[in-house]
Structures are given as structure tokens and as C-alpha cells.
Structure 1
């Protein structure tokens, strides 16, 4: 069993393997290297106590299941370099409020599925594709507000108690 609580990956690292920290149940904090461009498949999946992740300014892709089942992950500050967030990346996390970064172009399906604490999400003007086939917020019973750029058509399934706000 892994007992590691904090990981600081050196800046000399440019790639992390898929599932590298899978099920490190005691991991609380991660600092990623400045030259990393992708968080690979299931890299931190199952890190149930993970609370703090410092993302770098060169990161452009968060792959499938990257942070799935990180129950204690309540907040993440996305850099504007992120272009793609893949399917199930943040499913079953503790995220409460999400502001997707300006520059994000693609978001996959079920990204926030089971994020039971999720209350609010803001989409950027740069978003071109939501590849969700209608589903992005399954099992998000506390979702109260979705904030969209004016003119944005949201073709997703969500509870009728959710308010939609628009911004310029």
C-alpha cells in the first residue's frame, strides 16, 4: 500500500505514464512539472484523499479518468493553456465550483458524473465541442447554476432546478 502524501514531480520530467498514481489512497497534494503537457489516462484516479493539485501553464490535455474518484478534490485552478478535457476526467470528485479556462476547446462526456458536491460551473467562450451526447452532469444532485457565454446553446440533460446565467 502506498503511504505517500505529497508528490513534487521535478521540472525535468516531461511525461508521466498512465495510471502512475492510480489508487494512491493517502496522496493529498501533487505539484506537476512545468513542462508537462498532458495528464494521462487514470493518472490520479482513485486518489481519494487528493485535495491539492498545482497545474502548470503548459498543460493542454487532461485525459480520460485522470482524476476520477478523487473524492476530496474540491477545487482545481485550470490554466488557460488547457485545450481538451476528456471523458470522465473529474467523475466522482468532490469539486464544488468549476470555472473552465478560456482556451478550452473540447470537453468530453460524463466529465463531472457523480460529482455530488458540484454546485456551479462556468463555461468559457472558447469552447467549441461538448462531446457528451447530452450527458455531462449525471448524478450531480447539488448542481444549482450553469454560467454560459451569451449565444451558447447547451444541449445537455440537467435538472430543471438548475439556473442558467449568461455573460458577455
Structure 2
């Protein structure tokens, strides 16, 4: 069910959870000074944060840093989740939203189904947003999504 929801609250809850469940990693949460409210299903957006943070932790070495940054941009907000992990090639980035696709699944001990990023894209698309990825091998990955800010009553 969609409602007016604070992105800062969802981001803070997700980062707090991973701080406690993934102590070998460092987490940096960067929030704006003004509130960021979107009209969204809070459970679904929490699932997006969970999938993105889970991937960032899985593909980063112990001691690596995961940064979550919320940035207002006009009528939109961009949420970026960056890691200091293994990164991906351009080819891998092109395929990462495909169902069951896993980058380097044979070369890493990382477990998963290959559905997380497909789900992220579907949920963000369904909320009128856009997902983008920047990555390079051995330089980490940044996955960002943009959502329209809520400015009042909605249908």
C-alpha cells in the first residue's frame, strides 16, 4: 500500500540493520538537511534498500565501506549505494537486471539466486523511478535509483 514515506527513515533502518548484521564492513550514511518524502509502498522500498545493501556487502571485502547517499534533485531524489568491492565489467553491468544473472558466479563464493537486481528494477520502475549502475573491475560499484518526491495529495 502506497503512502507518504520518509526515504531517510527507510535508509537509516536499512543501514542500521546491516551495521549490526555485517560488522566487518563500514557503513557511511549521508542524508540531506531537508526531508525527502516519496509516495511509495514502504515495504517495497525497504526491500530495494535490503537488496542493494546485501549485494554491496556480499561483493565487498571485510573492512570495505558501503556508502548510502540521498540527494534531492529538483522534484526527485537520488539514492546511491556504493561499495568498495570487486566491481563489474561493462558486459556484466549490461546483464545485471536479467533474471537469474549473476556476475562472476563461478569465480566467487557469493551465494544468491540472481533475482535481486531484477526485483530492484521492477520495484523502482513501478514507483515511477529509474535505476542506474556505474562499475569497474576492482573499483567497486554504485547502484542508484531516482524517485519522484511527494508534494502533496496523490490519487
| TM norm. shorter chain > 0.5 | no
Structure with higher strand content: 2
Larger RCO: 1 or 2 (CA < 8 Å, sep 6+): 2
TM-score (norm 2): 0.25
Structure with higher helix content: 2
TM-score (norm 1): 0.24
